[in-house]
Amino acid sequence: MKWNAKVTMVALMTALVAMMWVASPLLGQGAPPGNNAKADQPAKKKDKGWLGVSLKATTEEEAKALGYDHPLVRIDTIFNGSPAEASGLQSGDLFLKLDGKTVKSVRELVKTVGSHASGDKIVLTMMRGKETFTVPILLGIRPDRRTLLRDSFIDKPAPAFAVQHLKDLKESKLADYKGKVLVVDFWATWCGPCRRAMPHLNDMSNKFSKEGLVVLGVTDEEQGEVQAFFKKNDKVDYPIVLDPGRKAHRGYMISALPTLFLIDHEGVVRDVLIGGGKKNMAKLDAKVAELLKARNKK
C-alpha cells in the first residue's frame, strides 16, 4: 500500500508539472523550456545608427563671425549611399541642433548619433551659407570603411582633383597623369603607418617610373609644416602635393590614413587600400605589376 501511495504521488506531481508547462506563458507557451530555444534567446541587438559623414569643427573665430559663442561642427565629407547624401546634406553644412538640442562639439554629435539604432529618425537643424533649415533623417547601418570605399570607387572613373606641389605650389591635376599608372597615397606627417610605408613607396617609384608608374603623396597639411618634416626626415623621390582645401580628401572620402588609391592608365580606380602594413604593400606590388603589364602590353 505504501508503494502504491508513492506511485500515485509521483503521478500527481508529473501531471501538475505538465499543467504548469501548458498554463504558464513564462515557461514556454505550452512546451517544456528545454524544447523552446527561441523563448530562451535574448532579443537581437540593433546596429548603431549611421549618418554617413566625416566631421570637422570650425574655429572659434569662424563661429563668432556667424554669431555663435562656441565652435560649430561642419560636414567635411559625405559618403556615397549614406543617409546624409539621400537627405540632401552637403559638404560644408553646419550642424546647429540634433533633435532640438544644440550641437557643441564633434565628440558630442558622434556620441549622440551613436546612441541611436539604425532605422531611428533624427531631426537636424542645419546652416548652409546664411540659411537655416531642418531635415529629418532615417539613420542607416554603418558599413565597414573598406567596403564603403571599394563599393564607391572600384572600377569607376577616379574623381578629378587639383592639388599643389610642395616645392613651388604649382597646380597639379589628375588629368596631368593621363596614360600613367597612378598610386595616390593620402598621408600626413604625424601618421606613423604613413611614414613607415614611405620607403616602400619610394623604392616602388624608383623601380617602375620608367615603365609608367607615378606615386603621388597627398597631404592636407600646411606647406611649412611638411617642409619642416622633410628637413628632419629622409626625403622621397616621388612628388608630394598639398590639398589645402581638402577637396581631394573629400572627393576620395578619406577618413583614415594612410589610404592608397591605385588608378590605371585609363583613369579608372582598380584598388583601394587602407593602412600601410606589409600585407597591403604586397597587395599593392602585385596590383601595380598587373596594371603596368596591361599598360605596356603591345
**Per-position DSSP letters for 130-171, written without gaps between them:** TEEEEEEEE-EEPPPHHHHHHHHHTTSBPPP-EEEETTT--E
Q: Which residue has the cell 546612441?
A: 115
Domains of the chain and any CATH numbers: 49-141 (2.30.42.10), 145-296 (3.40.30.10)
Interacting residues of 158 by C-beta distance below 8 A, sequence separation 6+ = 174, 182, 261, 263, 267, 268, 269
b/e 106-127 (16+ beta carbons within 10 angstroms → b): beebeeebeebeeeeebebbbb
Residue 292 has what DSSP assignment? H
Q: Which residue has the cell 560644408?
A: 92
pLDDT at residue 145, as a whole number: 86
Residue 134 exposure: Cα atoms within 13 Å on the Cβ side: 9
- Provide the whole-model pTM: 0.69
Can you say whether residue 244 is alpha, beta or left, with left for phi > 0 and alpha for psi between -120 and 50 degrees? alpha
Side chain identity at residue 62, one-letter code: E
Considering only CA atoms, which of 182, 197, 251 is closest in space to residue 220?
A: 251
Cα–Cα distance, 117 to 122 (Å, whole number): 10
The cell for 281 is: 604593400
Whether omega before 258 lies within 30 degrees of 0, making that bond cis, reads: yes
Contact predicate 60/68, CB 8 Å? no
| Under-70 pLDDT residues of the chain | 1-45, 298
* β-strand pairing of 131-138 with 140-141: unpaired
Considering only CA atoms, which of 264, 256, 268 is closest in space to residue 290?
A: 264
b/e 50-75 (16+ beta carbons within 10 angstroms → b): bbbbbbebbeeeebeeeebeebbbbb
The cell for 35 is: 524544447
Cα–Cα distance, 198 to 230 (Å, whole number): 12
Side chain identity at residue 285, one-letter code: D
The cell for 269 is: 580606380
Interacting residues of 180 by C-beta distance below 8 A, sequence separation 6+ = 212, 213, 214, 265
